[in-house]
C-alpha cells in the first residue's frame, strides 16, 4: 500500500517489525495462541513450545481440503503465523531442562496453562524468574491465577456468558436464547489485553531493568468489554436489554438493519437529520428513478427547507416527527430497491453513515481491503500452495506488521533452535 511511499521509507518487506529483537517463548495453548500471533506478526521471535505430537489445537476444524491432519488445521494456521515451533515434553526432566534453556534466552513467556500445573512441575514464573529477573511472564487464565474461581473449567462460550457480552447480544424476541458472537472473541479480547500487558512490561523494564508477572483474567477482560451494559449499572443501577442487531439498551430503540434488493443486509445507521442529508436522500430517490413511487417526497423536501430536524424536536414537534419518519421510510424504501453494496456506498457518499453486513470472507474482495493490502498471501510449503490470510490491523510504515512465515509444522525448528543433536539422550 502507499503509506510506505508517502512516508518515504523503504518497502515494507525489507524492514524489521516493531518488536524485532524481542524473544518470546509461548507454551502452546488454545487461550493464548492469539497473543503469540500478535507478538510474532509485530516482529518478535516467537518460539512455540508444543507437547509431543503437537498441540491439540492442530486437530481443530476446519482443515485444508477437509483432510483431517495436524498439519492442515486452518484454525492452527491462523493463530500461529510467524512463529517457530519445537516439541518439548514438559512432563519429563529433559523437557523441563529444554524449557529452562529456552526461557533463559527469552524476554517474554506467554502461557495459558491451568493454574497450578507449572508450579507442580517446578516451571512456574517464580521458578524461572528467580535466575532471570528481567523476564516478563504473561499468564492467561479464565479467572486469573489467584482468583477464588480459578479452578473452574471454562471455554470461550462460558467466559462470554459469565462475563457479560452474551447478556447484551441476541434478538428482540426474548424467548430466543441470547447469542454468543462468533469467532472466539473471548479469547481475542483476553489476548489483546495480554499483549498490551506484555508490551507495557517491556517498556517498564527499560526503566527498571526488571521483568514481572502479567496476570490476565479472561473473565475480567470480558467484563470490561461490554460498554454501556456495565456503566449503566455502575452509574445508574439500570439493566440493558438485548435487541436484534443493535445496542442493548435500557429503553427500546429503533431497528437499524435493512434487507436490500439482493437479499443482503445493511446496517442503516442513524436516519437523515440534516438538510444536506434530506437533500441527498431526495437526489438518491431521483437517481434510482423511484421518486414518484415514494409517497412522502414532500416531507423530505420540507426537511431540506426547514434546515433539518433536531433530535429534541423529533419528540416534541409534529412536523419534525413526520419529516424524520419520512427520512426513515425513504432509507428503507431505497434499501429495498438497490443491492447492499450500492446502498452502502450510496449512503456513505451522501454523508450517511452506513455499513454493509459482510460475511467474514467477503471482506477480502472489497475494494477498501484490497487497496489497503489487507489480504496477504503466505506460501505454505507443507501443502505447496499460496494461502490468503487476513493482514495488518494498521499501517506501521517504519516497522511493518507482517506474516513472516506460515504456521510451523510440528517440531519444524527443533534443530535450528536446539542444534542438530537430540536435546537429550534419554
Partner 1 sequence: MASSSALSHLRICDFTGQLAGAGATKFLAAMGAQVIRIEDPVRQGRWDILRGMPPYIDERRGVDLSGAFNNHNVEKLGVTINLRTEAGRDLVRRLIAISDVVSENFAAGVLARMGFPYEEMTRIRPDIIYVSNSGFGAEGPYRRFKTWGPIVQAVSGLTFSSGLPGLGPAGWGYSYMDHHGGNVMAIAILAALLHRSRTGEGQWVDMSCTDAGAWLDGPAMLDFTVNGRSLRREGMPNSNRSQSPPMAPHGIYPAAGDDRWVAVACRDDADWTALAKVVGEPWAAGDRFATLEGRLAGEDALDEALGAWTRRYDRDEVAARLRGAGVPASIVATPEDRIEHDPGTSAWGLWPTVHHTEIGDVRVDGIPLHLSETDWHIEQGAPCLGEHNDLVFGEILGLSPDEIDELRSEGAI
**Among residues 124, 125, 122, 116, which one has the least CA distance to residue 145?**
116
For partner 1, which stretch binds (CB under 8 A), given 1-9, 87-95, 279-287, 324-332?
Answer: 1-9
The answer to the question of residue 322 lying near partner 1 (CB under 8 A) is no
- Determine if the peptide bond prior to 38 is cis (ω within 30°): no
Least CB distance from residue 238 to partner 1, whole Å? 7
The Cα–Cα gap between 176 and 242 comes to: 11
For partner 1, which stretch binds (CB under 8 A), given 74-82, 288-296, 320-328, 330-338?
Answer: 74-82
Q: Which is nearer to partner 1, 61 or 318 (CB)?
A: 61
The Cα–Cα gap between 149 and 153 comes to: 9
**Among residues 71, 60, 70, which one has the least CA distance to residue 31?**
60
The answer to the question of residue 338 lying near partner 1 (CB under 8 A) is no
The answer to the question of residue 85 lying near partner 1 (CB under 8 A) is no
Least CB distance from residue 59 to partner 1, whole Å? 7
Distances (CA, A) of 189 to 140, 147, 350: 11, 19, 34
**Among residues 25, 203, 43, which one has the least CA distance to residue 113?**
25
Distances (CA, A) of 285 to 254, 260, 282, 354: 23, 15, 5, 17
Least CB distance from residue 82 to partner 1, whole Å? 13
Contact with partner 1 (CB under 8 A): which of 94, 121, 204, 288? 204
The answer to the question of residue 88 lying near partner 1 (CB under 8 A) is no
Site string for partner 1, 205-244 (x = CB under 8 A): -xxx-x-xxxxxxxxxx-xxxxxxxxxxxxxx-xxx-xxx
Least CB distance from residue 416 to partner 1, whole Å? 24
A 10 A CB-CB count for 201 gives 21
The answer to the question of residue 274 lying near partner 1 (CB under 8 A) is no
Least CB distance from residue 359 to partner 1, whole Å? 4
Contact with partner 1 (CB under 8 A): which of 262, 283, 362, 424? 362
For partner 1, which stretch binds (CB under 8 A), given 61-69, 288-296, 301-309, 323-331?
Answer: 61-69
The Cα–Cα gap between 268 and 258 comes to: 7
The Cα–Cα gap between 103 and 105 comes to: 5
The answer to the question of residue 332 lying near partner 1 (CB under 8 A) is no
Q: How many residues bind partner 1 (CB under 8 A)?
A: 153
The answer to the question of residue 311 lying near partner 1 (CB under 8 A) is no
Least CB distance from residue 51 to partner 1, whole Å? 16
The answer to the question of residue 134 lying near partner 1 (CB under 8 A) is no
Q: Contact at 8 Å (CB) between 272 and 303? A: yes
Least CB distance from residue 421 to partner 1, whole Å? 33
Contact with partner 1 (CB under 8 A): which of 90, 94, 364, 413? 364
Contact with partner 1 (CB under 8 A): which of 90, 117, 134, 155? 155
The radius of gyration of the chain's CA atoms, rounded to the nearest angstrom, is 26
The answer to the question of residue 92 lying near partner 1 (CB under 8 A) is no
The answer to the question of residue 356 lying near partner 1 (CB under 8 A) is yes
Listing DSSP states for 170-211 in one string gives: S-S-TTSPP-PPSS-HHHHHHHHHHHHHHHHHHHHHHHHS--
The answer to the question of residue 141 lying near partner 1 (CB under 8 A) is no
**Among residues 244, 248, 252, which one has the least CA distance to residue 164?**
248
The answer to the question of residue 331 lying near partner 1 (CB under 8 A) is no
The Cα–Cα gap between 145 and 217 comes to: 8
Amino acid at each position: 500500500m502507499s503509506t510506505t511511499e508517502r512516508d518515504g521509507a523503504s518497502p515494507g518487506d525489507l524492514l524489521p517489525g516493531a518488536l524485532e529483537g524481542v524473544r518470546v517463548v509461548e507454551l502452546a495453548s488454545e487461550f493464548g495462541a492469539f497473543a503469540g500471533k500478535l507478538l510474532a506478526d509485530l516482529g518478535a521471535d516467537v518460539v512455540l513450545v508444543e507437547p509431543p505430537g503437537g498441540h491439540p489445537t492442530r486437530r481443530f476444524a476446519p482443515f485444508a481440503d477437509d483432510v483431517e491432519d495436524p498439519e492442515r488445521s486452518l484454525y492452527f494456521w491462523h493463530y500461529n503465523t510467524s512463529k517457530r515451533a519445537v516439541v518439548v515434553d514438559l512432563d519429563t526432566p529433559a523437557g523441563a531442562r529444554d524449557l529452562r534453556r529456552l526461557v533463559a534466552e527469552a524476554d517474554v513467556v506467554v502461557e495459558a496453562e491451568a493454574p497450578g500445573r507449572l508450579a507442580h512441575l517446578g516451571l512456574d514464573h517464580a521458578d524461572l524468574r528467580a535466575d532471570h529477573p528481567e523476564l516478563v511472564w504473561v499468564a492467561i487464565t479464565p479467572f486469573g491465577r489467584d482468583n477464588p474461581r480459578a479452578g473452574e473449567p471454562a471455554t470461550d462460550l462460558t467466559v462470554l456468558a459469565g462475563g457479560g457480552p452474551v447478556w447484551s447480544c441476541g434478538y428482540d424476541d426474548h424467548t430466543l436464547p441470547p447469542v454468543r458472537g462468533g469467532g472466539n472473541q473471548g479469547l481475542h479480547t483476553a489476548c489483546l489485553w495480554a499483549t498490551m500487558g506484555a508490551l507495557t512490561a517491556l517498556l517498564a523494564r527499560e526503566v527498571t531493568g526488571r521483568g514481572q508477572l502479567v496476570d490476565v483474567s479472561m473473565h475480567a477482560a470480558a467484563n470490561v468489554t461490554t460498554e454501556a451494559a456495565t456503566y449503566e449499572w455502575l452509574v445508574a443501577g439500570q439493566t440493558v436489554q438485548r435487541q436484534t442487531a443493535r445496542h442493548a439498551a435500557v429503553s427500546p430503540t429503533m431497528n437499524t438493519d435493512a434487507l436490500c434488493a439482493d437479499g443482503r443486509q445493511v446496517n442503516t445507521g442513524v436516519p437523515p437529520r440534516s438538510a444536506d442529508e434530506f437533500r441527498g436522500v431526495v437526489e438518491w430517490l431521483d437517481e434510482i428513478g423511484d421518486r414518484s413511487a415514494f409517497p412522502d417526497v414532500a416531507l423530505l423536501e420540507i426537511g431540506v427547507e426547514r434546515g433539518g430536524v433536531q433530535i429534541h424536536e423529533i419528540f416534541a414537534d409534529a412536523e419534525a416527527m413526520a419529516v424524520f419518519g419520512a427520512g426513515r421510510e425513504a432509507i428503507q424504501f431505497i434499501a429495498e430497491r438497490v443491492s447492499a453494496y450500492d446502498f452502502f456506498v450510496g449512503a456513505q457518499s451522501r454523508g450517511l453513515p452506513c455499513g454493509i453486513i459482510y460475511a467474514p470472507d467477503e471482506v477480502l474482495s472489497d475494494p477498501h481491503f484490497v487497496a489497503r493490502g489487507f489480504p496477504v498471501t503466505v506460501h505454505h510449503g507443507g501443502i505447496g500452495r499460496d494461502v490468503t490470510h487476513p493482514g495488518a490491523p494498521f499501517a506501521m510504515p517504519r516497522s511493518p506488521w507482517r506474516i513472516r512465515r506460515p504456521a510451523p509444522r510440528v517440531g519444524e525448528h527443533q534443530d535450528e533452535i536446539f542444534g542438530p543433536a537430540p536435546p537429550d539422550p534419554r
